[in-house]
Amino acid sequence: NTTNVDTGDFAWTSNLTFSWNENKITKLDAIPTVGSLTRQGGAPREGYPVRSLFSLPFRGLDDTGMPTFWLGEKDKDGKEIVGYKGINFQNNQNLDYLKYEGSIDPTIVGGFDNTFRYKDFGLSFYFTYQAGSVIRLPDDFSTWYSDQSTMPREMLNRWQVPGDEKTTNIPAIQSRWRLYDEGSDVSWAYTGYNYSDIRVAKGDFFRLKDITLSYNLPKDFLKEYLSINSATLRFVASNVWLIYADKKLNGVDPEFANTGGVAMPTPHQYTLTLRLGF
């Protein structure tokens, strides 16, 4: 807490809060799988935070628009063997090829408040911030879509003709015959794309949380005409402005991401209150 200016009629005070938290699992009897470690909510793994997020290493699209990955194998020359077949989300043996993204839970959380007072008027700005977490982006990509499907905006930049793999990382919409021909390999490849490192964003944000404007009515007036000791009129605007968030979220609020398909986004709120003291 600091008092920056105080001249009697005018005052400016600041309040900074900062919290830091890290954790690491030193012993774990449970055996994680590729599927549990890459899911949106993360999973525990020995030597890492309690809710750690891992990803399949994405290695671009092939010349048919299929996403490809490195699944931990190398050839005799030490070069990565890249493809989309053989993804096994139940695998619990070879996990070292997975890319560690970070913790689902932030390591830094805090706020910053500035309050200005001039005689009976008050004005404050409250900012909140968070850092050190990662977010798995929604599972928007599939092998096929219907008229009832909602597609992400990124689909405008998807692979459509050979050569597009050089300019885009958005996979193609595959034909039905390919699904019938290759079966689960194609389906798992698109699931792998949703759980790859290209589908991860930072959970960091900086937000103007509240703006508060207040006015203390003159005490002499209150006692003479209303027979009360004090009265404060206060107006508060909440969730005003998300100043910074990862562009990969495409405007989604980091505090709202992955809260469920029926959850409501954080709304703007406006509150007017009158506090009386007798």
Average pLDDT, the chain: 91
* pLDDT (0 to 100) of residue 144: 75
Q: State the Cα torsion 138-102-167-78 to the nearest 10°.
A: -130
Q: What is the pLDDT of residue 149?
A: 76
**Cα atoms in the 13 Å half-sphere on the side-chain side of 278:** 0
pLDDT of residue 39: 93
Cβ-Cβ contacts under 8 Å for 90 (sequence gap 6 or more): 33, 34, 35
Helix (H) or strand (E) holding 191: helix 184-194
The pLDDT score that the predictor gives to residue 26 is: 96
Are the CB atoms for 40 and 259 separated by under 8 Å?
no
Contact 114, 16 (CB under 8 A): no
- The pLDDT score that the predictor gives to residue 263 is 63
Q: 33-78 pLDDT, tens per residue?
A: 999 999 988 999 999 999 999 999 999 999 999 999 999 999 999 9
Exposed e or buried b for every residue in 20-33, given b needs 16+ CB within 10 A? eeeeeeeeeeeebb
